[in-house]
Amino acid sequence: MSAPIRVATRPIPGQKPGTSGLRAKTRVFMQPHYLENFVEAVWAGLGGIAGKTLVLGGDGRYFNDRAAQVIMRMAAASGASRVIVGQNGLLSTPAASHLIRTRGADGGVILSASHNPGGKDGDLGVKVNISNGGPAPEAVTARIHAATQALEQYLIVESQDLDLARPGRQRLAETVIEVVDPVADYADLMERLFDFSAMRALIADGFSLRFDAMHAVTGPYAIEILERRLGAEPGSVINAVPLSDFGGGHPDPNPIWAKALHDAVFAPQAPDLAAASDGDGDRNMILGRGIYVSPSDSLAVLAAHAHLAPGYAGGLAGVARSMPTSTAVDRVAAARGLPCYATPTGWKYFGNLLDAGRVTLCGEESFGTGSDHVPEKDGLWAVLMWLNILAATGKSVAAILHDHWAEFGRTYYSRHDYEALDADVAQALIEDLRSSLPGLAGDDAGPLRVSRAEDFAYTDPVDGSSSTGQGIEITFEGGARAVLRLSGTGTEGATLRLYLERYSPDDPSLDPQAALTPVITAVEALTGLTCRTGRTAADVIT
């Protein structure tokens, strides 16, 4: 094996990690030096990797196999002691997080662009996790970004491709490459958290379920857990084989991109529980016979019922939500006497709260829910938590949801995404609204009156770190709310996300979009969104 090669390079603009690592078009990552530059910067951001253990895996999208080989060769060149990689390069994000923790690794690299489309013309991402299993915090991503701007070389070893199809150990230079079963440890963890006996009995009694893996990474996990360990009918997991282009689909578990599953619960012979997960397995959509569960409602329901699962029988230390997520969980926390935190968007902001034992359950409106079992959101975990609740209560999904609204009231909620906007137009809209914030309180906005308007800032209660400019939050008299922010997960133009909510203490039967019409009208009055963007409707409404 030859010595490491020093390859001369120069900084490549635009390699600033976002809330979920670096994302770009797949063809961009395939350009000479692009991936290598960023990986070398990751090593710098982690303080070097000589003598360290890393976990490596991804969702199987196009170019992941090549990227994994490059990353292993670069890890070996920089003196890593061990790289633990999922068989065939596959690891869901929550499984990778769990593996980092159980194996005492110093961090990990996850190859995924989450819910973004795959294939050669799709998207790719490189996400960095630290030793607690959670996403790299801002201090680490700032070091990574700084390193990308000063690179002059990167190190790599020459090698034949390693065989990742067979579990076992092999050597690359002085580095041990350990290929592991990507599913087993994670499935064992789920069996410790939930009452598999009760869920098996429920399914054996005729309860039907359908899980759409969207040709992404959760297929093998769902087959093992739902069909093999819990006894669901073979074929209950659909689109189960991970494909490099996700079968030409969009691996985003929402009513738009998982429309067939959404339609199935409103059709004859609907399953009792239906669910979907995304590209890397950290998001979830929950549905029941005749009903769709919004992610914000799902978080609130799980907070109210988590004690029914063995792993949470002692109760919750507290709950946390991203600021744009609806305040439905806040009402559960208030009723149960639990601390409740609102953080910026991005799972990394939950990490300190989880590690400090301040919260047990976290969630985002973007179909992400999780707990302190791993410091990542976890799609299949959320499905199993719902299944455990259904088994423990004997109720349907619809009954659980309607009983929840009867107890806590209903928070109508929706997110409107305006995708691939002209970046300058989107940025100007946000900046103009931001500049008007100081004088908005007390002003009329269409049919509503503004009670509070601010640019959300967050001070971490654990370490005192602060984050500003995290989204514009406008609250109206009567409790309605709107949030506007530019997303950091797109790879083309700008995505403007508009989050809308309105609380009703005693009328849970309205159509959500109709209930939110006054809030939509108020936002239009404040921003002139239609005229400025040329869009008469959002591209995606969830």
Tokens representing residue 53 in the block: 């253990």
Q: Is 114 annotated in the active site?
A: yes
Helix, strand or coil for residue 39? helix
**CB contact at 8 A, 178 and 84:** yes
In the set 97, 114, 236, 322, the catalytic residue is 114
- In single-letter form, the type of residue at position 276 comes to A
What does DSSP assign to residue 125? E
Return the number of other C-beta atoms located less than 10 Å from residue 363's C-beta: 29
How many CA atoms, within 13 angstroms, populate the side-chain half-sphere of residue 170?
16
Give which of 513, 521, 271 is closest to 415, Cα–Cα: 513
DSSP state string for 524-535:
HHHH-HHHHH--
Please name the residue that has the structure tokens 């489309």: 117
CA distance 210 to 265: 10
CA distance 520 to 507: 19
Give which of 194, 264, 195, 198 is closest to 236, Cα–Cα: 264
Give which of 124, 101, 102 is closest to 38, Cα–Cα: 124
CA distances from 186 to 83, 101, 132, 248 (A): 18, 12, 16, 28
**CB contact at 8 A, 382 and 309:** no
CA distances from 302 to 143, 188, 262, 296 (A): 36, 21, 21, 10
β-pair partners for 22: 126
| Residues annotated catalytic, as ranges | 114
